[in-house]
Amino acid sequence: MKSLIVFCSTHGTTAKAAHLLRKQIEGDVIVINLEKTKLHSDLELFDSVIIGGSIHAGSIQGKIRKFMKENDHVLQRKNLGLFLCCMREGEEAFKQFDNVFPHRLREAAVVKGLFGGEFAFSRMNFFEKIIARSISGSTDDKSTLDVEAIREFATTFNRSNKFLPV
């Protein structure tokens, strides 16, 4: 079973989540950071694909949007997982998830995850600090990264991988 995890991460949280996932996904797993590397392999080589990104001012990274748009048809046929890192919680987080992942991929996904997020002010520029402070209400570093949600996502994903038609 071959799986691909593609992600973008502005300050490292989604990268952390992707690498935690990698350790828990069964079979061969390749992890690609689309900010740093282009995907050279054919998507057809993978049984499963996991796509992850984070929210900044309401949007997911442009390279993730482009990847989903260009591979829409292939992705719908995969054992597909989608995850998002963000600091908003509850209903607002679900709304952001629905806004950034296209309807067809959300419908096709066997598992969807909200993994929380992190505010690391030392990694932000001046403008990012202003936005982050307005969301957080403080300038203290904060983490809501949800390792249990990552574990549950991996368990569901592995289970559905086993039932893929051969």
Ligand X SMILES: Cc1cc2nc3c(=O)[nH]c(=O)nc-3n(C[C@H](O)[C@H](O)[C@H](O)COP(=O)(O)O)c2cc1C
Q: Which residues would be at the binding site for ligand X (CB under 6 A)?
A: 9-14, 54-58, 85-88, 96, 117-119, 124, 128, 131-132, 135
Of the pair 83, 157, the CB lying nearest ligand X is at 83
In the bound state, the residue with its beta carbon closest to ligand X is 117
Q: Least distance from C-beta 149 to ligand X, angstroms?
A: 13
Q: Least distance from C-beta 57 to ligand X, angstroms?
A: 5
Q: Least distance from C-beta 165 to ligand X, angstroms?
A: 34
Q: How far apart (Å, rounded) are the C-alpha atoms in residues 119 and 147?
A: 16
Of the pair 106, 142, the CB lying nearest ligand X is at 142
Residue partners of 123: CB distance under 8 A and separation at least 6: 11, 12
Of the pair 153, 158, the CB lying nearest ligand X is at 153
Q: Least distance from C-beta 83 to ligand X, angstroms?
A: 11
Burial of 115-130, coded b for 16+ CB within 10 Å and e otherwise, reads bbbbbebeebeeebee
- Four-point Cα dihedral 132, 138, 140, 144, nearest 10: -70
Q: How many residues would you count in the chain? A: 166
Of the pair 50, 85, the CB lying nearest ligand X is at 85
Burial of 17-36, coded b for 16+ CB within 10 Å and e otherwise, reads bbebbeeebeeebebbebee
Q: Least distance from C-beta 36 to ligand X, angstroms?
A: 13
Of the pair 91, 107, the CB lying nearest ligand X is at 91
